Amino acid sequence: MRDFNFFTDLKPKKKKTTSTSTYVALVVLLAALAIGGSYYYFYTELEEVNDEIDRVEAQLQDEVFIAQHEGVQEMNTRVGEMQQELEEIDQIVFSLESNMVIDNLLINEIAMANPENIAIENINFSDRNVNLEGTSTTKNALALFEHNLRGNERFEGPFIPNIEEVEEDLYTFSLSFHIVEEESPFDIDTPDDLEEEDEEGDADGS
């Protein structure tokens, strides 16, 4: 007769344990993967940097880039020169404004010396030289204009080098003088004053 053991499956089984070598192998594997991934990442970055270096070196040797770079340098040089010229012009303008050689006073003095029957059409200033052009209805008015300008101590050598009669009672003229003083009194003679001087001269002569 055969015996059956019904309690065999009820015996406690031994629990499986993981060996230390397995943990070590797992750690080594993870470390290898991390190192490999890092190497691949930095290798890729290095390749990109090398490619960028090659691209820049090729660009530096490109004739078009060199020409453009030289053009930029030339433009920068020109801009610097223009800025220097602008500074020089500003200094000249400041000097002219400081000297006040040509100012409202000068214009007023010319206007005050100008008789009514003279029309000034053009005034040119060059340094301290003044050139006038205009028309007059009489030669006597031109003589009076010159006389009045000579009465200003700031003006030197007013003269009328050209008088032309364009039609009856209409003359064109040009007149020039030099500014010698910054400021001085200005005396205007009227036609009545000239007549009085002539009468005094006649009285002295008689």
> How many other β-carbons are positioned within 10 Å of the β-carbon of residue 28?
10
The residue that leads in pLDDT, 85 or 23, is 85
pLDDT at position 137 is 92
Residue 51 belongs to some domain of the structure: no
Residue 62 belongs to some domain of the structure: no
Residue 63 belongs to some domain of the structure: no
Residue 38 belongs to some domain of the structure: no
pLDDT at position 154 is 84
Q: At what angle do helices 191-205 and 139-150 cross, to 10 degrees?
A: 90
Residue 109 belongs to some domain of the structure: yes
> How many other β-carbons are positioned within 10 Å of the β-carbon of residue 144?
22
Residue 143 belongs to some domain of the structure: yes
CATH of the domain at 166: 3.30.1360.100
Residue 198 belongs to some domain of the structure: yes
Element (H, E) at 2: none
pLDDT in tens, 81-97: 777 877 777 776 666 55
Number of domains, the chain: 1
41-50, 64-73, 90-99, 131-140: least confident range: 90-99
| Whole-number average pLDDT of the chain | 73
Say whether 126 sits in a helix, a strand or coil. strand
Is residue 185 predicted with pLDDT exceeding 50?
A: no
Q: What does pTM read for this prediction?
A: 0.42
Domain residue limits at 131: 104-205
The residue that leads in pLDDT, 24 or 157, is 157
* Cα gap 43→37, rounded to integer Å: 10
* Two structure tokens written together for 26: 């797992």
Residue 23 belongs to some domain of the structure: no
pLDDT at position 53 is 82
Classify strands 129-136 and 155-167 as parallel, antiparallel or unpaired. Answer: unpaired
